[in-house]
Amino acid sequence: MNLSGFYRAFEERFYAPRSVIKTLRMQYLPYISELAKIYPGAATFDLGCGRGEWLELMQAQGFKPFGVDLDAGMLSACQELGLSVAKGDAIAYLQSLEDQSQAVISAFHVVEHIEFEQLQTLVFEALRVLKPGGLLIMETPNPENIEVATRNFYLDPTHQRPVTPMLLGFLPEFHGFARVATVRLQEKSDIHTREDIKLTDVLTAVSPDYAVVAQKSASAEILNLFSEVFSKRRGVDLHNLANRFDHRLDDFMSAHHETRKAVDHLRADTENADHQLRAEINRAEHQLRKEIDAIRSEIGNLNQNLAAALQENADLRRSISWRITAPLRGAVSFLRSPGSYTMAKVLQYPELSDKINRVILKFPGLHEKLRSAAIQNGWSPEVHWSEEKTDAPASIADISPRAQAIHASLVQEIAKLKS
C-alpha cells in the first residue's frame, strides 16, 4: 500500500490553506517580538514543522529557524521555499540540542499525536535547551469545544487523544517554567460581544484551538518585558460561554415567567369581566322581560278598554239621546272644524247673516255660543246680529213636550261645552 504524500494531501483537503495558517500563526508575534530584540539571529526549533508556515515567520523576525517532520510530503513544501528542515523524529532531535541554545521551541498540533511520556520529554527537554526568557509554544485542538472533542478531532487518523488545557498548562509549571499562559484561539470574533448565545454556540463556538505558552526563568528585566502579553486573557472557554448561555436562559425564563404572570392576570381579568358582563346581560334580560311583560299587560288592558269603548260607542250611537242631540253636535263640530272659516265669510254678508240669525235666535243657547265664537275669533266688529222680533215662542212652556226635551238636552250639552 502506497501512503506516500498522504498526509500532505490530507492537510490540503481538510485544513486551511497555507496562507491562512501563516496568518493565524501571527497571533504569537506579541510574544516573539520582544524576544527577537533580546536574541537577534538566535536559533529556534519547530517540532513537526509541516508545510513551514511558522518557519517563515521566524525567519521574517530575524531568527534562524530549523524544523523536523516525519512526513516527507510535508517537508517538500518547506524545501520548495528554501527553508531549513530535516526528516526525522522531532523529540529525538530536540534531545540532541545543546543547553540554552534556542530562543523558541514550538510544536504546532504535535502533542495530540504523541504519547504522554513523549509529551513530558518534550516539555522537560525544551526547558533545558531554551535560553533564559525563551519560550515554549504548544498548540493543539481544544477539547473544551464539544464539536472538536467529539467529531473534528477524530478526523485526523494520526491523532492519539485530546489534551485538555488544564493538563497541558500544568506540565510546564511542574517541570519548572517561570510562567505559563493558556491562549484560546480561532474563535469567531463576534462571539465575544453577542448576547444571543444559543445552545449551538455552547457546543461549537468555544475557541477550537488553544496554546500553552511557557517562559523560562530569566532576569526580572527580561521577564518584565513580557508581563503585559502574559497577563492578557484571550479566547472563549467552555465555562464562560456556558455561563453566558445560562444567564441568557435565566433572563429568558424570567421574562417568560413575567409574561406568564401577565397572561394569567389578563386571563383572570378577562374572566372577571366576562362574569360581570354575563351578570349584566342576565340582569338586563330579566329587566327587559319584566318590561315586555308589563307592556304586554298594558296592551291587553288597552285592548280591553278599547273594546269596551267601542262597545260603549256603539251602544251610544244606538241610543235615543244620541239621535236627539245630533243637531247640537253638528253645530259644535261646525264651530271646531274648518267650517268656522266659512261661517266667518258668510257673516260678512248682512242679508244672509240676518236670515241665519232669525233661525238661530229660536235657540238662545246656540245663539250665545255662536256669538261668543265670533267674538273670540275677532269677527264681532263685522257682525250685526238683528234684534228684531221673531216668531219664536214667548217661553219654553209654549213649545211642545218633545221640543222641551230637545231644548233641555241642548242646554246640557252647551253647559258641558262651557265647562
DSSP notation for 87-132: ES-HHHHHHHSPTT-EEEEEEET-GGGS-HHHHHHHHHHHHHHEEE
Considering the domain architecture, whether residues 221 and 246 belong to the same structural domain is answered as no
Considering the domain architecture, whether residues 266 and 331 belong to the same structural domain is answered as no
Percentage of residues in the chain having pLDDT higher than 70: 82
Pairing of β 43-47 and β 102-108: parallel
By 3-state DSSP, what share of the chain in percent is helix, strand and coil, each rounded to 5? Answer: 65, 10, 25
pLDDT at 383: 45
Q: Does residue 304 lie within any of the structural domains?
A: no
The enclosing domain of 158 has a CATH number of 3.40.50.150
**Residue 125 above 70 pLDDT?**
yes
Contacts of 68 (CB under 8 A, 6+ apart): 45, 46, 47, 48, 49, 85, 86, 87, 88, 89, 90, 93
Q: Does residue 315 lie within any of the structural domains?
A: no
pLDDT at 387: 46
Angle in degrees, CA 80, 24, 160, rounded to 5: 80
What is the rounded average pLDDT for all residues in the chain? 85
Q: Does residue 286 lie within any of the structural domains?
A: no
Structure confidence by residue, pLDDT tens digits, 191-249: 989 989 999 999 999 999 999 999 999 999 999 999 999 999 889 999 989 999 999 88
Q: Does residue 302 lie within any of the structural domains?
A: no
- 268: containing domain: 238-275
Indicate the residue among 217, 236, 255 that finishes a domain. 236
Contacts of 344 (CB under 8 A, 6+ apart): 374, 377, 379
Q: Does residue 51 lie within any of the structural domains?
A: yes
Q: Does residue 297 lie within any of the structural domains?
A: no
Considering the domain architecture, whether residues 54 and 200 belong to the same structural domain is answered as yes
| Residue 370 in grid coordinates | 255662536
Pairing of β 130-141 and β 209-215: antiparallel
Considering the domain architecture, whether residues 213 and 149 belong to the same structural domain is answered as yes
Considering the domain architecture, whether residues 271 and 366 belong to the same structural domain is answered as no
More confident call, 416 vs 139:
139
Considering the domain architecture, whether residues 106 and 184 belong to the same structural domain is answered as yes
Q: How many domains does the chain have?
A: 3
Cell numbers 245663539 correspond to what residue? Answer: 367
Considering the domain architecture, whether residues 179 and 270 belong to the same structural domain is answered as no
* Weakest-pLDDT range from 17-26, 98-107, 190-199, 263-272: 263-272
pLDDT confidence of 340, banded at 50, 70, 90?
A: low
Structure confidence by residue, pLDDT tens digits, 290-315: 888 888 888 888 888 888 878 877 77
Closest to 55 in 3D by CA, of 64, 365, 331 = 64
Cell numbers 533545558 correspond to what residue? Answer: 128
Structure confidence by residue, pLDDT tens digits, 372-416: 776 776 655 544 444 444 455 556 676 777 777 777 877 787 777
Which stretch of DSSP H or E encloses residue 278? Answer: helix 238-317
pLDDT at 404: 77
**Residue 39 above 80 pLDDT?**
yes
Closest to 113 in 3D by CA, of 69, 161, 77, 146 = 161
Considering the domain architecture, whether residues 57 and 184 belong to the same structural domain is answered as yes
- Integer-rounded Cα radius of gyration of the chain: 63
Contacts of 191 (CB under 8 A, 6+ apart): 201, 205, 236, 241
Q: Does residue 36 lie within any of the structural domains?
A: yes
Q: Alpha-carbon distance 5 to 74, whole Å?
A: 8
Q: How far is CA 239 from the centre of its chain?
A: 31
Q: Is 363 left (phi over 0), alpha (psi -120 to 50) or beta?
A: beta
Q: Is 379 left (phi over 0), alpha (psi -120 to 50) or beta?
A: alpha
Considering the domain architecture, whether residues 182 and 150 belong to the same structural domain is answered as yes
* Average pLDDT over every residue of 64-91: 94
pLDDT at 246: 93
C-alpha distance from residue 319 to each of 19, 314, 322, 323, 415 (Å): 131, 9, 6, 7, 21
Indicate the residue among 177, 209, 236 that finishes a domain. 236
pLDDT confidence of 349, banded at 50, 70, 90?
A: low
Structure confidence by residue, pLDDT tens digits, 267-296: 888 888 888 888 888 888 888 888 888 888
Q: Does residue 266 lie within any of the structural domains?
A: yes
pLDDT at 344: 60
Considering the domain architecture, whether residues 155 and 206 belong to the same structural domain is answered as yes
Helix (H, G, I), strand (E, B) or coil at 45: strand
